[in-house]
């Protein structure tokens, strides 16, 4: 969408197919949410940027109400910070936070997978295969949730609930960064192949190979996300006044 274009809740290009095959029109709020989310995740609106409701309303051709509601929803997603008496700002990114999250994941998740593979729970692996297929066409805002579902299915037969809860918390805190990854990096096929490999190794009971494959998978994801965060932080720094 161009910077000067308006959005319309009746635009066919923004329509979705309903369960009965009918076209379901997105509301103005949903369209504004999509537009602001896309700009934040792509870096078009850099971290730390102030969000002026009146400017977005004028630019997008809507009233302030849907813009206000969109900002509220994106705040709940962790993409926007609401600062009392100051307004709304795009949430800052933290390279150190990303690095720490992935360092912990690399220590916990391969161990959990090794234990789980030794159990070889076929029903969980069948469900995991279905999640991989869903991820192929998932929207960015769905990616983190589905990614966690997949990993949970791979690990839960390890029967280590405390460790699994820790990993789940890390995935939830990392969801914003997963969205940056899926928007900015061409990873869908790579993710499909790597997740499928993990499932196949688990089915075959090859615990050591599955553990090594997961270490590679997490390490490569960390490199991709850190590179994106660095790029977005550099872009944000360039926009700061001298």
For 153-189, the pLDDT digits (tens) are: 999 999 999 999 999 989 888 887 887 777 766 788 8
For residues 164 and 230, state if they share a domain: yes
pLDDT exceeds cutoff 50 at 115: yes
CATH at 101: 1.20.120.530
Which residue(s) pair with 23 in the sheet? 17
Task: Clarify whether residues 162 and 73 are in a common domain.
Answer: no
CA distances from 118 to 109, 121, 162, 216, 223 (A): 14, 9, 19, 20, 29
More confident residue, 159 or 142: 159
53/76: higher pLDDT = 53
Distance CA 12, CA 117 (A): 47
Is residue 180 domain-shared with residue 229, that is, in the same domain?
yes
Q: Residues 6 or more apart from 217 whose CB is under 8 A from it? A: 194, 195, 198
The CATH number covering residue 43 comes to 1.10.10.10
Q: Give yes or no: residues 158 and 202 share one domain.
A: yes
**Does a structural domain hold residue 15?**
no
Domain boundary among 70, 90, 110: 90
Strand ordering across the sheet containing 87-90:
50-51, 87-90, 80-83
> Who has greater pLDDT, 21 or 172?
172
Same domain, 83 and 101: no
Residue 109, H or E segment: helix 95-117
Contact 154, 164 (CB under 8 A): no
- In this prediction, residue 185 carries a pLDDT of 64
Q: Based on the domain organization, do 159 and 65 belong to the same domain?
A: no
Of the candidates 69, 66, 90, the one whose C-alpha atom is nearest the C-alpha of residue 7 is 66
pLDDT confidence of 6, banded at 50, 70, 90? low
Query: Can you give the pTM of this predicted structure?
Result: 0.71
In a domain, 1, yes or no: no
Range of the domain at 106: 95-238
- Choose one of 45, 74, 90: the last residue of a domain: 90
Token pair of 111 as six digits: 């161990």
Domains identified in the chain, total number: 2
């Amino acid at each position: 969408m161009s910077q000067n274009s308006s959005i319309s809740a009746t635009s066919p290009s923004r329509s979705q197919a309903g369960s009965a095959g009918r076209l379901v029109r997105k509301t103005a709020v949903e369209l504004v949410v999509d537009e602001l989310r896309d700009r934040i995740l792509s870096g078009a609106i850099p971290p730390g940027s102030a969000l002026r409701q009146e400017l977005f309303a004028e630019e997008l051709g809507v009233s302030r109400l849907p813009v206000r509601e969109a900002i509220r929803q994106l705040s709940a997603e962790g993409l926007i910070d609401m600062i009392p008496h100051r307004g709304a700002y795009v949430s800052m990114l933290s390279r150190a936070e990303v690095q720490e999250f992935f360092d912990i994941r690399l220590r916990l998740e391969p161990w959990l997978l090794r234990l789980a593979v030794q159990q070889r729970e076929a029903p969980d692996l069948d469900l995991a295969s279905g999640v991989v297929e869903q991820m192929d066409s998932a929207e960015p805002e769905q990616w983190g949730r589905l990614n966690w579902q997949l990993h949970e299915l791979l690990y839960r037969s390890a029967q280590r609930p405390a460790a699994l809860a820790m990993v789940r918390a890390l995935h939830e805190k990392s969801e914003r960064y997963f969205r940056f990854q899926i928007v900015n990096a061409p990873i869908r096929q790579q993710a499909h192949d790597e997740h499928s490999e993990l499932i196949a190794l688990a089915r075959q009971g090859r615990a050591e190979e599955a553990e090594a494959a997961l270490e590679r998978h997490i390490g490569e994801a960390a490199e991709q996300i850190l590179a994106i965060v660095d790029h977005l932080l550099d872009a944000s720094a360039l926009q700061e006044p001298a």
